[in-house]
Chains A and B, each alone.
Chain A
Amino acid sequence: MFKIIKQLTSLVAMFAVLFAFSTETMAAKKSKTLENTKKRGFVRCGVSQGLPGFSNADESGNWTGIDVDVCRAVAAATLGDATKVKFTPLSAKERFTALTSGEIDILSRNTTWTLSRDADIGLTFVGVNFYDGQGFMVRKGSGISSTGEFKNGTSVCTNLGTTTELNMRDFFDSKGISYEPVVFEKADEVVAAYDAGRCDTYTTDKSGLAAQRTKLSAPDDHVVLPETISKEPLGPVVRQGDSVWEDIVRWSLNTMIEAEEYGVNSSNADMMKTSNNPAIKRLVGAEGELGAAFGLDNDWNLRIIKQVGNYGESYKRNIADTGILPDRGPNELWTKGGILYVPPAR
C-alpha cells in the first residue's frame, strides 16, 4: 500500500510540472517575446541555409546579408547590440513551423508575402525588404533568350515548399506547355542537379538565381532570362498574436529605409542629432519619445543606424558589392525612381 502512495505522489508531481509548463506557454499572449528576448539576451532569428546576399554564413560562422541585417537591427533596438542574434538556418519547408512553434521569433528568410500565408497559418508579415520576381535560368548555349521559347517536355529544377512551385504551374499551364518539375528540399541540391544537366532550366526568385549562379561550376555559361513571371515581395515574418513585437520588427526595418531617405548613415548618425530637420532628429532619437511606444528607450533607432547602417548601406554591402545585383531596380527609394516607400516615423 505504501508503495502505491509513493507512486501516486510521483505522478502528481509529474503533472504539476507538466501543467506549470503549459500555463507558461499559454500566457505568451501579450508581448512576452520582447521580455523573453531580453531575459535570454539574444534575438532568435530564422534564416536561409545559405543564399549569398540575403543570408549566408562564411567559414567562421559569421552571417551576412540583407535578411540578416533585419534581425541585427532588431537586436540593436531591443538589446543594444547588433551582434546578439542567434541564427537558425531553415529549409523552405521548415521555416513556418519553426516560427509558429516558437523556435524562432523572427523569420527573415527571403519569404514571399502572400494572402494565404499572412491570413491562414498564424503568421504576420511586417513589411518588404526586397521586391523580387520569379525568373528562369538557362544554359547560354541553348540559344533560348525568352520564356516563350520553352517547348513541351522541358524539365525544371526548383525548391520544395515555395511560391515558386505554384507560379511555375500557373506559368506553364497558361502557356499550354507540359513540363517536368524536379523539386528538391535544399537549394544546394537544386544547384547540383541543374549543374549536372538533370534540368533544362532552373527557376526561383531572380535575386536567388543571381546568387545561386555564383555557385555553379561555370557561372558564365548560364544566363537569367529577362521575363519576370510573378511578384515576390520578400520580407520578415513574425508570429501572430504579439502585436508589440510585430511593431518592433516592422519599425526596425522601416527605420533603416527611412534613414537612407533622409541621408542618415552609420558614420554621420551621431552628428545628425543636431540637425535642423525634426524628422531627422526623431530618427536619431534626439526628439520625441518614439521608443516608448514599444517599451524601448529613445536611442533604439540611433543604435540601428549606427550598428547596422541604413538600407542603402546594407544593400551595397551585401548585394551590390558582392556582384549579385549591382543595379537596385525596384529596390531603390521612391524618391529615386524605385518603389521603397515606408510610412513616416513620427
Chain B
Amino acid sequence: MNNIIKRYIPQILAILFVVLIFGFLTLNAQTNMDNRGIDFGFGFLSQESSFDVQFSLIEYSGSDSYARAFLVGLLNTLLVSFISIIICTILGVIIGVARLSSNYLIKNSAAWYVEFFRNIPLLLQIFFWYYAALRALPMPEKADAWFGVTYMTVKGYYIPAMVWENLNVFLYCGLAAIIAIIVLRNYANKLRDTQGKQIPVLLYSVVLLIVLPLLSFLFGGVSLEFELPELKKLSKISYIYEGGISLPPELIALVLALSLYTSTFVAECVRAGIEGVSKGQKEAAASVGLTPNQVLKLVIMPQALRIIIPPTTNQYLNLTKNSSLAAAIAYPDLVLVFAGTALMQTGKAIEIVSITMLTYLTISLTIAAIMNWYNKKIEIKEK
C-alpha cells in the first residue's frame, strides 16, 4: 500500500498541477480580456481580409477571407522551407564528403566554409544577403539576360512562365512512368534474388521517364509554350518585366541564407556518419571484390545513413522554424502575413498566435514523422 502511494501520488499530483496551471492561465486571460472588452473567437477567419500580399502561390486578393490569407502565408512558409531543405541537403552532402577528402585544398576550404557560415547569426546572414543583393543587383532596364531569357534584377528574378495545354494528360503520363519504374524495380529485385540475373534498372527507368511523357506530346494533345518576361516602362526612370514568373528578391535572399546556414550543420552530420562506419567494413568489402562504388553504395552509405538521419532531421526542423525570420525582410510567410498583418488588423492576438503555434507544431511533427519513417526503413532489421 505504502509503495503504491509512493509510486502514484506524485504522478497524479504532477498531472493535477499541470492541469491547474493551464486552467489558471486560461481563466486569468479570460478575466483580463473581459475587463478590457476583448472578445475571444475564431469568427474573424471568414471575414474579408482587405489587405494584399506581395507573393502568393494561390489566387488571393484583399476581398478573400483571413482564412485564405492564412493559407497564403502557410504555403509561402512551406515553399521556402521545401526549397531550402533540398538545397541544404545537396550542399551539406557535398561539403560533408569534401571535408573527408584527402586533397588538402578541398578539405580545408570545406572546413572554412562550415566554420564561417555556422558561426554567424542567421538573422545577420539574412540581412546581409537581402541588402547586399539589393545594393548589388542591377535595375530591370540594365539587367543582362541569363541563359538568354531570365533576368536577375533588384526587383526580382524574372523567368519564363510555362503555358500548358492538357497539363493533366502530361501529369498522368508522368505518374504512369513512376508506377512502371516501381514495378520494374520490384521485378528486377526478385529476378536477382531468385535467379541471380541483373538487368540495367537505371537505364530502363530513365528511358521510361523520358519516353512516356514525350508520347503525351505526340499523341495526347499536350503542348507547352513559354511566356517570356518583357521589359515595360513604369515611369521615366523605372522599369519592370511583365509576363513570365517573378521570384521576389526576398524569397531568394531567404533561401540563400537558410540553406547556406543549415548546410553547414548537415555537412557535419554527414561527416560524422561516414566517419562513424568502421574502417574494417570498407576493407572487408574491398577484399570480397566489390568495386569502390559498390563499397560506398552497398556497405558504407547504408550504415552511415543510420547515423546521419536523426541529427539531420533536427536540422530540417530548425530550418523550418528559422524560416519565420522571413518577416525581417518582407517575405510574406506565415508569421508576416498571419501573425503580422492579420493580427494587427483584427487584434485577435491570442487566437492568431495559438493558430500559428499549432501550425508550426504540425509542420514540424509531419517532417519528424516522415524522417522517422525513413529512419525505421534503413534501420538494422533485427530478426
> Is chain B's binding surface mostly helix, strand, loop or mixed?
helix
B131 within 8 A of A: yes
Q: Is B139 an interface residue (CB 8 A)?
A: yes
Interface of chain B residues 24 through 69 with chain A (CB within 8 A): 24, 27-28, 31-33, 35-39, 50-54, 62
Q: Once the chains are docked, how many angstroms separate the CA of A142 from the CA of B238?
A: 7
Interface string of A227-266 (1 = CB under 8 A from B): 0000000000001110000000000000000000000000
Contact B340 A160 (CB under 8 A): yes
Residues in chain B near residue A4, CB distance under 8 A: 5-6, 9-10
Among candidates A7, A25, A198, A239, residue contacting B28 with C-beta atoms closer than 8 Å: A25
CB distance from A38 to the nearest CB of B (A): 21
Pairwise interchain contact B238-A100, C-beta atoms closer than 8 A: no
Docked Cα-Cα span, A116 to B248, in Å, equals 33
B273 at the interface (CB under 8 A from A): no
Chain B positions within 8 Å of A142 at CB level: 234-238
Selected from B24, B134, B233, the residue in CB contact (under 8 A) with A18 is B24
A186 to chain B, nearest CB (A): 8
Contact A7 B236 (CB under 8 A): no
Q: A121-B38, A154-B234, A183-B54 are in contact. Are A161 and B344 (CB under 8 A)?
A: yes
Chain B residues whose CB sits within 8 angstroms of the CB of A239 once the complex forms: 36
Q: Is residue A181 within 8 Å, beta carbon to beta carbon, of the partner chain?
A: yes
Fill in one digit per residue for A202-217: 1 if any B CB lies within 8 Å of its CB, else 0.
Answer: 0000000000000000
Q: Does B358 contact A (CB under 8 A)?
A: no
A95 to B206, CA, bound (A): 57
Number of A-B contacts (CB under 8 A): 158
Residues from chain B with a CB closer than 8 A to the CB of A169 are 50-52, 62
Asked if B213 is at the interface (CB within 8 A of a chain A CB), the reply is no
Asked if residues A189 and B36 are in contact (CB atoms below 8 Å), the reply is: no
The reply to whether A160 and B54 contact each other, CB–CB distance below 8 Å, is no
What number of B residues sit within 8 Å (CB to CB) of A?
58
Complex contact B344–A200 (CB within 8 A): no
Tell me which residues from 276 to 293 in chain A have a Cβ below 8 Å from any Cβ of chain B.
none
Let me know if A192 is at the binding interface, CB within 8 A: yes
Question: Are B37 and A196 touching (Cβ within 8 A)?
Answer: no
Q: How many angstroms between the C-alpha atoms of A11 and B336 in the bound complex?
A: 41
Residues of B within 8 A of A122 (CB): 33, 36-38, 347
Contact A183 B330 (CB under 8 A): yes
Q: Does A344 have its Cβ within 8 Å of any Cβ on chain B?
A: no
**With A141-B237, A142-B238, A143-B236 known to touch, is A197 a contact of B134 (CB < 8 Å)?**
yes
| Contact yes or no, A153 B330, CB < 8 A | no
Which residues of A lie under 8 Å from residue B165 when comparing CB positions? Answer: none
Indicate whether B208 reaches chain A with its CB closer than 8 angstroms.
no
Using an 8 Å CB-CB cutoff, how does the interface string of A158-199 with B read, 1 for contact, 0 for none? 001110011011101100000111111100010011001110
* Shortest beta-carbon distance from B5 to chain A in Å: 7
A345 within 8 A of B: no
- Complex interface: chain B residues within 8 A of A144 (CB): 235-236
A92 x B344 contact (CB < 8 A): yes
Decide if B336 touches A160 in the complex (CB within 8 Å): yes
Collect the chain A residues with CB atoms within 8 Å of residue B62's CB.
169, 173
Decide if A160 touches B234 in the complex (CB within 8 Å). no
B10 touches A7 (CB 8 A): yes
Chain B residues with Cβ below 8 Å from A139 are: 237-238
Name A119's closest neighbour in chain B (CB-CB).
B37
Please tell me if the beta carbons of A200 and B235 are within 8 angstroms of each other in the complex.
yes
Q: Considering the chains assembled together, what is the distance between the CA atoms of A239 and B35 in angstroms?
A: 10
Q: With an 8 A cutoff between CB atoms, is B279 at the interface? A: no
Is A166's CB under 8 angstroms from B50's CB?
Answer: yes
Q: Choose from A8, A153, A166 the contact partner of B240 (Cβ within 8 Å).
A: A153
CB neighbors of B among A116-166 (8 A): 116-117, 120-122, 138-139, 141-144, 149-155, 160-162, 165-166
Is A93 within 8 A of B235, CB to CB?
no
Chain A contacts of B242 at CB under 8 A?
152-153
The answer to the question of B154 belonging to the interface, with a C-beta cut-off of 8 Å to chain A, is yes
For B17, what are the chain A residues with a Cβ–Cβ distance below 8 Å?
11
How far in angstroms is the closest Cβ of chain B from A115? 12
Nearest chain B CB to A231's CB is how many angstroms away?
A: 17
Does B249 sit within 8 A of A, measured CB to CB? yes
Is the CB–CB distance between B329 and A1 below 8 Å?
no
Residues of B within 8 A of A154 (CB): 234
**Do B52 and A28 touch across chains, with their CB atoms under 8 A apart?**
no
29 contacts between A and B (CB under 8 A): A1-B5, A7-B13, A18-B24, A19-B24, A25-B28, A92-B344, A116-B345, A121-B346, A122-B38, A139-B238, A141-B237, A142-B236, A142-B237, A152-B242, A153-B234, A153-B242, A160-B340, A161-B343, A182-B54, A183-B54, A184-B330, A185-B327, A185-B336, A189-B328, A189-B329, A200-B234, A200-B238, A240-B37, A241-B36
Question: Knowing that A153-B240, A196-B154 are A-B contacts, what are 19 other residue pairs whose CB atoms are under 8 Å apart, sorted by A's residue number?
Answer: A4-B9, A11-B13, A26-B35, A121-B346, A121-B347, A122-B37, A122-B347, A143-B237, A149-B235, A155-B240, A160-B341, A161-B344, A165-B341, A166-B50, A170-B50, A173-B62, A179-B52, A183-B330, A192-B131
Residues of chain B whose beta carbon lies under 8 Å from any beta carbon of chain A: 2, 5-6, 9-10, 13, 17, 20-21, 24, 27-28, 31-33, 35-39, 50-54, 62, 131, 134-135, 139, 154-155, 232-238, 240, 242, 248-250, 327-330, 332, 336, 340-341, 343-347, 349
7 tightest Cβ-Cβ pairs between the two chains A and B: A121-B347, A161-B344, A122-B36, A143-B236, A196-B134, A142-B235, A122-B38
